[in-house]
Structures are given as structure tokens and as C-alpha cells.
Structure 1
Amino acid sequence: MNGNEIAGRGGILAAVVPGQPLAVLEQAARLADDLDLPLVCANVDPDRYVVSSYVDGTVVALPYDPDLPEAGEERFDPDLEAHIRNALDGRGIPYSLQQLAGDPAWALARLAEDLDARYIVVGSREAGLRGSVREFFNGSVAVHLAHRQHRPVIVVPLNPQPGAQRLPWEDPPV
């Protein structure tokens, strides 16, 4: 089932990325099952920008870096697809995969609008210095989504820390 087949049905949109813990997909699938709605798993390539998109869901994108390959149809990561299929097949939840390009928050909000998604499910930021640096420059996808569109955004904690423990991005005590 492609994303356009469920358009207008008010499904659940889950942001998925390679290497992401299974928690985001599991929670999105649980929500879709509880509400008897289809699930759309969307991956966004932030290193490319959309040149054109078609009614069948095909996206053509160019890299921001001129040294990368030219325009081409965006293809869903085969390893990520296998990971998703392994987690969802046999659960009885209709789902589809969508490959997007560009700013993750903008691309997800646009797809949510096209699908008339009921909820957007994303993971919390990565713990550690790499995740903190990326978020400092790019901002939080969840925060951008929460402020730029009208759908509820569900943030799944990926690495919860005990209450008294300082988070990696918090300022050290003075």
C-alpha cells in the first residue's frame, strides 16, 4: 500500500531513520492498531532537497552538496525497509513507506497534510554530544513540528535519563 492509497484516511505518520531504536516504530504501530488506522513510515534525507514530487508518491531530489550524484528518484533505504517489515509484518496493521527529502520537519508536516494524518510520531533527540551538536545547528524536529503545523506530535523517549541525572545538553552546574 503506498502513501497515496491511505490519503484522507487520517493515518499515523511515524518518522523513521536508520539506526533508530525500535521504540518509535513500536509506539507508532501500537497507536495505529489502537485507533484502527494505517501507519505511514517516513524517512527524510536532509542532505537532499525536493525538485519534484508526483501523485504516486515518487520524489525526485538533488543533493545540497554539488559533489554528490545528480538528481534521482529518492529510494527508501533497503536496510531500514527490512527492519520495518521485520517489525510490522504479521501484526495486521496496514502500513506504507515514504522516502522524503529536505528539512525533516517541513517534509514531515507536508506529508502529514497530504495524508490528513491524525498524529505524527517522532523519537526524542539522540543522547550525547553528536545529537546535541546536530540539534544545536538544525533544531529539534519535534519542536519545529509542534510549532509549524496543527497535528499532535507524539515524542517517544529514546534514551530516558533518571530524574536527578543531568542531560548531556544541559549546562554544567555553576
Structure 2
Amino acid sequence: MNIVVGYDEHPASGAALDFAAALAVRLDAELNIVHVLSIDDYPIDPDGLDWEACAEREVSAERESAREVLGAHGLTKWTYDVRRGSPVRLLVDACEKRDALMIIVGKPEQGLGAMLNHLVTGSISRGILHRAHRPVVVVPENGVDHGAAAGRALR
């Protein structure tokens, strides 16, 4: 059994990973983490001599953060894929490819900048809801013990 989770540096994504890890442990499932590269993964100055190296360090740091969350849950069956492209398409494709039980993502960001971005590109969670043929779980960023929430989801 597989579960797909979208992950990046945003706090809501961390909450989604925490929930997904707790659920994967309870279901004895493999967790497939999909990190879709965005401009946030790259340094501000694209003309810097170490621009690509900085981006690689950032992605490595995010992978290590994910590893720590997974280790805290005792999860040993997981993959971490870094991809370029449309987050909606890549997450839905990963779910179909792995015949995953569900896709888990963080609740969309709030604020003016996020609102403008959603107007231009659309919400990732909304896009997944429209394209996926599997259940989609959207996890809020704050105020939830995600491990306990995953346990309640199984009752």
C-alpha cells in the first residue's frame, strides 16, 4: 500500500508530511514524498556562480528535514522524489503510478501574495481535487496534533 504526499519548505507542507507519516505507520504503508521544485528552492541571485549548488543544498536540507520527521514516527518505508513541473500533474501522476491509496497535501497558503499566486496559477490542492481519481487529504498548518489526527482518521 502506498500514500503520496506533496512536500516543500512551507509550514503547511510540513504538517501534511507529519500527518502522512503517522498515517503510513498506522497503515504499514510506504510513503512516497514528492518534492516539486519551485523558485523558492533557488537562491535570489540567478547570476551567482554557485546558484545550482545553493539550490542543491536547499533541496538536500529539505530532504533531511523530511527524514527527521519520518524518523520521529519510526517510518522506514519511504521514497523522496524531486521533480520539475506542474505540482498538480506530478502529484496525480505519482499517485497513479504507485497505485496509491491517497494524496496528502498541506492547506493552501494564506495572505495577499498567496492569493495573487492562486489567482494566476490556481491552488495546488484544488487542482488535485479536480484531477485525481483517488481521495485527497488537505491538512491544515496549525493547531492540530497530526499524529493523533491520523489515528482518529482510522477509527
If the length of structure 1 is used for normalisation, what is the TM-score? 0.66
Runs (4+) of structure 1 exceeding 2 A deviation are 19-22
Across the aligned residues of Structure 1 and Structure 2, the Cα RMSD in angstroms comes to 2.5
Would you say 1:81 and 2:63 are equivalent positions? yes
Matching residue within 2, 5, 20 for 1:14 = 5
Instruction: Report if aligned partners of 2:2, 2:32 keep a CA contact under 8 Å in 1.
Output: yes
5 Å-filtered alignment, 1:49-128, equals 77-89=59-71, 91-93=73-75, 94-128=77-111
Query: Aligned pairs, how many?
Result: 129
C-alpha deviations, 1:94-149, integer Å up to 9, x for none? Answer: 11101111111011111111111111000111111111111111111111111112
2:138 alignment partner, SS class: strand
Report the more deviating stretch, 93-102 or 18-27: 18-27
Larger Rg: 1
In structure 1, the gaps of 5 or more residues are 1-9, 48-66, 161-174
The structure in which a higher percent of residues are strand is 1
Report the more deviating stretch, 140-149 or 84-93: 84-93
Aligned position for 2:128: 145
Change (3 A) 1:90 1:118: same
Instruction: Report if aligned partners of 1:46, 1:103 keep a CA contact under 8 Å in 2.
Output: no
In structure 2, the gaps of 5 or more residues are 40-46, 144-155
Distance 1:40 1:32 in 2: 10
Aligned position for 2:17: 25
If the length of structure 2 is used for normalisation, what is the TM-score? 0.73
1:89 alignment partner, SS class: helix
The structure in which a higher percent of residues are helix is 2
Shift of 1:92: 3.0
